[in-house]
């Protein structure tokens, strides 16, 4: 038994909620001991796979003869014909063949795969196949898709009031922006290792955000029940949405070859193959008509969003929906209409990427605000403020989004007030204007942009999660939940929740690899919802066990329920103090179950898609950023001088992890809008398919002066520990960098000019915009 002194010295556990604890794998990462899929010791007889890809964006396959592929060392060749079940690796609706059948729809599409003793042999064997194509014309942009009426989903509209009233406004204009896509460039490429087991079972290590879907798709492909397939993921070397649906294809190919060869098969895509074969962030073309008054108050707005979905639906409909949801960003649109086209193109099927369409919708809105300010000759901040959703909810009519949800938790005005002060906004605005008056070649720019990001899967069904918690006789705890770890620190956060419920130190909690045989039917770890959902599910499991322990203590010691308390020093039972381990042992001896599942579903959400009205989000996460840039107007090159980020994570579950997410999200957003350019040639071949030509930010590209702070405040909804999701929202803080560049470009032209800067703002695009405003 512990004594009172212990109680006093142990004021709190080590690693409870809200503490800045390092990542649970920190010590493994720095020692090179963290195991990723490619590091797993391969099972005996493991084979290696290679996939042959289509060289054409659109073609008929006239002939496919793989008989010559069977060279020594080759153990299996799989084509579409060899698949016993369904030849499809698509989420939601179909359209993503594992192997092409009679037609190829993008350059890079998988045609067939070979498993051999080495990748070299597999590659050599694949080259021996005879494939004859008849090339067909390809649609390569949204414009042509709309003309040809080729879509991957129905055109969808969200509206409120009557947007045509904008025609009566004093000021009106039409504008448009092209927004580029983005490759995920997770540092660990796509990979899977599939092993056939006894009695028709399969095990698959997959670098996936969605093990349950991979499980289901493998089963469907092999025409076997789901219970024969187990999918496991220890950790991913980054994912960012790129392993939400895209990992399935890789895992299915590995499993198909394992099925055929009856041997373990590993498929690890080369970087080039990865970039050619897997989907990216959707490029968008967004145009608008807007009407506003002298104050810059928007009186009516009509957006048209055209998403380049690529060759299949994948998750495009949900992504395009989210682009619509965030067409307002933080502003009350009033009379408004948002029309969305989900365009089919003969390109790789675009997919989830941190922000899931939100960033594109939001960028267009911020562009509109910037344009209004420039036309009226006002500071964009002034325009932002008159258009904000009413923060106090006093003006009931200025709180409803264009999809009928009431914004109840708006804190953006407070965030503005704080960041304008800490970021010295007004003073720097003046200094920059002064600088630009005297500096001919170098121009500076400044922008402050906000973020309001809706948290929940917009498909209500997906907002559920499960967890499995075991307490062992020695008082240690093993935790498994449906979420996957991709660097976001989810396992650490959920383990902190568990430590907190039992009031034990974090090192007593071990999170095991995500495994479909432990927690079934999980949703993807996506939509920033990982800790919201899995944290709550784990909490539920722990509370069940804790309640059992309490009930046991009540009976065993004959005390009142209220007098059994879990404290950092141990479990207090009346005056006595037992260590957690002692109570657990006692409970075990008395035959109390020490294991439980937990389940959670997000409350309050209710989205009626056919009517385009309802509450798709549980709550919103907010933030704002100020970025300052200096541009060389002769070359279009630039440097970011300073960035101030203020972001709302509710009550932080772990400030160290949250700050990392905010910094990383911002930099990734800046990369998307500046140096990361995807370029397809006229034949529809992606030519930026390696880091030599596709430039993600390096350590030199981050702002020289980089200040990141957490906004102080609880989530007003009852989330885990009143925290807020943090994965995606900060990415959109990067919009401030783009608009800062635009601000500097505007300084090259006449007052009121509207620089036609397109995204990404590569030096070439910056130069084009400078030339346009100088013309």
Partner 1 sequence: MTFTVTPLRRWRITRRKLLKGGMGLLAAGAWARFFGFFRHARAAETVRPPSTITTRLRINGRDNTFKLDSRVTLLDALREHAGLTGSKKGCDHGQCGACTVHVNGRRVLSCLTLAATADGKDVATIEGLAEGKKLHPVQQAFVDHDAFQCGYCTPGQIMSAVACIKEKHAETDADIREYMSGNLCRCAAYPKIVAAIKQARGATERG
Q: Is 665 in the site for ligand FES (CB under 6 A)?
A: no
Residue from 377, 699, 750, 751 binding partner 1 (CB under 8 A): 699
Question: Which partner in ligand FES, partner 1, none is near 632 (CB below 5 to 8 A by kind)?
Answer: partner 1
Residue from 187, 417, 426, 634 binding ligand FES (CB under 6 A): 187
Question: x/- string (CB under 8 A) for partner 1, residues 707-736?
Answer: -x----------------------------
CA distance 594 to 442: 67
- Considering only residues 669 to 688 of the shown chain, the ones binding partner 1 according to CB under 8 A are 671, 674-675, 677
Minimal CA–CA distance to 357: which of 619, 156, 535? 156
Residue 108 vs 487, nearer CB to ligand FES: 487
Residue 34 vs 86, nearer CB to partner 1: 34
Residue 657 vs 753, nearer CB to partner 1: 657
Residue from 291, 487, 570, 729 binding ligand FES (CB under 6 A): 487
Residue 190 vs 449, nearer CB to ligand FES: 190
Question: Which partner in ligand FES, partner 1, none is near 96 (CB below 5 to 8 A by kind)?
Answer: none
Question: x/- string (CB under 6 A) for ligand FES, residues 432-471?
Answer: ----------------------------------------
Which residue number is nearest to ligand FES in terms of Cβ? Answer: 187
User: How many CB atoms are closer than 10 A to CB 440?
Assistant: 10
Asked if 758 and 745 touch (Cβ cutoff 8 Å), the reply is no
Query: Least distance (Å) from ligand FES to the CB of residue 468?
Result: 28
Question: Cβ contacts of residue 633 below 8 Å, gap of 6+?
Answer: 441, 442, 443, 744, 745, 748, 770
CA distance 566 to 116: 56
Total number of residues binding partner 1 (CB under 8 A)?
75
State the sign of the Cα–Cα–Cα–Cα dihedral 722, 726, 732, 736. Answer: positive
Q: Is 690 in the site for ligand FES (CB under 6 A)?
A: no
Residue 40 vs 136, nearer CB to partner 1: 40
Going from the C-alpha of 434 to that of each of 19, 188, 429, 439, 638, the distances in angstroms are: 44, 46, 9, 9, 19
- Considering only residues 608 to 647 of the shown chain, the ones binding partner 1 according to CB under 8 A are 630, 632, 635, 637-639
Question: x/- string (CB under 8 A) for partner 1, residues 124-153?
Answer: x--x--------------------------
Q: Any bridge partners for residue 680, and if so which?
A: 686
Q: Is 196 in the site for ligand FES (CB under 6 A)?
A: no
CA distance 270 to 258: 20
Query: Least distance (Å) from ligand FES to the CB of residue 188?
Result: 8
Query: Least distance (Å) from partner 1 to the CB of residue 73?
Result: 12
Going from the C-alpha of 90 to that of each of 188, 196, 247, 249, 315, the distances in angstroms are: 22, 23, 10, 8, 9
Total number of residues binding ligand FES (CB under 6 A)?
3
Query: Least distance (Å) from partner 1 to the CB of residue 520?
Result: 26
Residue from 6, 14, 38, 551 binding partner 1 (CB under 8 A): 38
Question: Which partner in ligand FES, partner 1, none is near 9 (CB below 5 to 8 A by kind)?
Answer: none
Query: Least distance (Å) from ligand FES to the CB of residue 186?
Result: 8
Q: Which secondary-structure segment (H or E) carries 448?
A: strand 442-455
Query: Least distance (Å) from partner 1 to the CB of residue 755?
Result: 17
Question: Cβ contacts of residue 398 below 8 Å, gap of 6+?
Answer: 332, 334, 389, 390
Q: Is 291 in the site for ligand FES (CB under 6 A)?
A: no
- Considering only residues 234 to 273 of the shown chain, the ones binding ligand FES according to CB under 6 A are 238
Asked if 204 and 219 touch (Cβ cutoff 8 Å), the reply is no
Query: Least distance (Å) from ligand FES to the CB of residue 623?
Result: 22
Residue 240 vs 711, nearer CB to ligand FES: 240
Q: Is 417 in the site for ligand FES (CB under 6 A)?
A: no
For residue 47, the SS3 value is: strand
Residue 238 vs 264, nearer CB to ligand FES: 238
Query: Least distance (Å) from ligand FES to the CB of residue 208?
Result: 17
Q: Any bridge partners for residue 172, and if so which?
A: 291
For residue 738, the SS3 value is: helix
Residue 47 vs 338, nearer CB to partner 1: 47
Query: Least distance (Å) from partner 1 to the CB of residue 371?
Result: 24
Q: Which residues are catalytic?
A: 728
Q: Which secondary-structure segment (H or E) carries 156?
A: strand 156-160
Asked if 330 and 367 touch (Cβ cutoff 8 Å), the reply is no
Query: Least distance (Å) from ligand FES to the CB of residue 440?
Result: 40
Query: Least distance (Å) from ligand FES to the CB of residue 275?
Result: 14
- Considering only residues 583 to 612 of the shown chain, the ones binding ligand FES according to CB under 6 A are none
Task: Give the relative orientation of helices 530-557 and 490-502 as an angle to the nearest 10 degrees.
Answer: 20
- Helix (H) and strand (E) counts for the chain? 18, 29
Residue 188 vs 539, nearer CB to partner 1: 188
Task: Give the relative orientation of helices 211-222 and 247-261 as an angle to the nearest 10 degrees.
Answer: 40
Asked if 511 and 480 touch (Cβ cutoff 8 Å), the reply is yes
Q: Is 30 in the site for ligand FES (CB under 6 A)?
A: no
Question: Cβ contacts of residue 720 below 8 Å, gap of 6+?
Answer: 497, 531, 532, 535, 536, 539, 653
Residue from 22, 85, 614, 756 binding partner 1 (CB under 8 A): 22
Task: Give the relative orientation of helices 763-774 and 735-746 as an angle to the nearest 10 degrees.
Answer: 40
Asked if 248 and 91 touch (Cβ cutoff 8 Å), the reply is yes
Residue 586 vs 702, nearer CB to partner 1: 702
Minimal CA–CA distance to 77: which of 262, 260, 268, 249? 260
Minimal CA–CA distance to 451: which of 301, 290, 351, 328? 328
Q: What number of residues does the chain have?
A: 775
DSSP state of 758: P
Find the angle CA(311)-CA(315)-CA(320) to the nearest 5 degrees.
Answer: 95
Stretch that binds partner 1, among 85-93, 359-367, 548-556, 703-711 (CB under 8 A): 703-711
Minimal CA–CA distance to 256: which of 212, 234, 223? 223
Residue from 36, 156, 173, 588 binding partner 1 (CB under 8 A): 36
Residue 270 vs 379, nearer CB to partner 1: 270
Helix (H), strand (E), coil (C) string for 635-692: CCCEEEEEEEEEECCECCCCHHHHHHHHHHHHHHHHHHHCCCCCCECCCCCECCCCCC
Q: Is 664 in the site for partner 1 (CB under 8 A)?
A: yes
Residue from 52, 139, 486, 494 binding partner 1 (CB under 8 A): 486
Binding site for ligand FES (CB under 6 A): 187, 238, 487
């Amino acid at each position: 038994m512990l004594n009172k002194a212990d109680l006093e010295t142990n004021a709190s556990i080590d690693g409870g909620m809200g503490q800045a604890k390092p990542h649970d794998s920190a010590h493994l990462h720095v020692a090179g001991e963290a195991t990723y899929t490619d590091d797993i010791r391969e099972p005996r007889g493991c084979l290696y796979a290679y996939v042959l890809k289509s060289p054409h964006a659109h073609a008929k396959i006239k002939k496919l003869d793989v008989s010559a592929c069977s060279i020594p060392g080759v153990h299996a060749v799989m084509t579409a014909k060899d698949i016993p079940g369904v030849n499809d690796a698509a989420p939601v609706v179909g359209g993503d063949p594992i192997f092409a059948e009679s037609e190829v729809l993008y350059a890079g599409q998988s045609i067939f795969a070979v498993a051999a003793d080495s990748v070299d042999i597999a590659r050599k064997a694949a080259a021996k196949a005879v494939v004859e194509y008849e090339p067909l014309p390809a649609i390569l942009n949204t414009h042509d898709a709309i003309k040809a009426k080729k879509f991957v989903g129905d055109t969808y509209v969200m509206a409120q009031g009557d947007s045509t009233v904008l025609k009566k406004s004093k000021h009106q204009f039409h504008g448009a922006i092209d927004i580029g896509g983005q490759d995920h460039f997770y540092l660990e490429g796509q990979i899977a290792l599939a092993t056939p087991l006894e009695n028709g079972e399969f095990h698959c290590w997959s670098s996936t955000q969605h093990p349950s879907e991979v499980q289901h798709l493998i089963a469907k492909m092999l025409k076997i029940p789901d219970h024969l397939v187990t999918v496991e993921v220890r950790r991913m070397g980054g994912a960012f949405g790129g392993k939400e649906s895209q990992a399935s294809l890789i895992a299915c190919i590995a499993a198909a070859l394992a099925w055929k060869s009856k041997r373990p098969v590993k498929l690890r895509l080369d970087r080039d193959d990865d970039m050619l074969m897997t989907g990216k962030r959707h490029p968008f073309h967004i145009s608008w008509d807007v009407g506003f008054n002298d104050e810059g108050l928007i009186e009516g707005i009509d957006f048209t969003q055209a998403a380049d979905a690529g060759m299949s639906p994948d998750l495009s409909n949900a992504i395009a929906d989210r682009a619509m949801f965030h067409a307002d960003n933080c502003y009350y649109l009033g009379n408004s209409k948002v029309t969305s086209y989900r365009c089919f193109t003969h390109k790789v099927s675009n997919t989830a990427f941190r922000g899931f369409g939100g960033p594109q919708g939001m960028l267009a809105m911020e562009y509109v605000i910037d344009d209004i300010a420039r036309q009226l000759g006002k500071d964009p901040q002034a325009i932002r403020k008159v258009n904000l959703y009413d923060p106090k909810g006093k003006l009931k009519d200025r709180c409803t989004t264009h999809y009928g949800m009431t914004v109840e938790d708006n804190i953006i005005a407070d965030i503005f007030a704080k960041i304008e002060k800490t970021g010295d906004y007004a003073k720097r605005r003046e200094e920059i204007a002064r600088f630009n008056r005297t500096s001919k070649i170098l121009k500076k720019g400044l922008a402050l942009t906000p973020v309001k990001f809706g948290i929940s899967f917009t498909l209500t069904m997906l907002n559920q999660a499960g967890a499995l918690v075991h307490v062992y006789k020695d008082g240690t705890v093993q935790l498994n939940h449906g979420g996957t770890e991709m660097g976001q620190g989810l396992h650490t956060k959920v383990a902190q929740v568990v430590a907190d419920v039992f009031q034990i130190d974090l090192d007593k909690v071990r999170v095991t690899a995500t495994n479909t045989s432990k927690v079934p039917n999980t949703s993807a770890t996506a939509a920033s919802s990982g800790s919201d959902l899995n944290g709550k599910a784990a909490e539920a499991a722990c509370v069940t066990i804790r309640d059992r322990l309490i009930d046991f203590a009540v009976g065993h010691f004959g005390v009142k329920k209220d007098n059994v308390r879990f404290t950092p020093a141990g479990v207090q039972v009346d005056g006595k103090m037992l260590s957690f381990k002692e109570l657990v042992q006692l409970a075990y001896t008395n035959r109390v179950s020490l294991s439980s599942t937990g389940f959670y579903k997000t409350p309050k959400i209710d989205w009626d898609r056919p009517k385009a009205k309802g509450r798709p989000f549980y709550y919103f996460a907010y933030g704002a950023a100020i970025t300052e840039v200096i541009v060389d107007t002769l070359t279009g090159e630039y440097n970011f001088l300073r960035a101030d980020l203020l972001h709302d994570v509710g009550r932080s579950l772990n400030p160290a992890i949250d700050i990392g997410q905010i910094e990383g999200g911002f930099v990734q957003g800046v990369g998307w809008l500046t140096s990361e350019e995807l370029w397809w040639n006229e034949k529809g071949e992606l030519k930026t398919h390696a880091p030599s030509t596709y430039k993600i930010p390096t350590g030199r590209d981050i702002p020289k002066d980089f200040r990141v702070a957490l906004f102080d405040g609880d989530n007003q909804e009852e989330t885990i520990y009143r925290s807020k999701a943090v994965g995606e929202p900060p990415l959109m803080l990067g919009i401030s960098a783009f608009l800062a560049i635009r601000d500097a470009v505007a300084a090259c032209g006449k007052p009121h000019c509207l620089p036609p800067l397109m995204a990404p703002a590569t030096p070439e695009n910056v130069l084009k915009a400078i030339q346009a405003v100088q013309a």
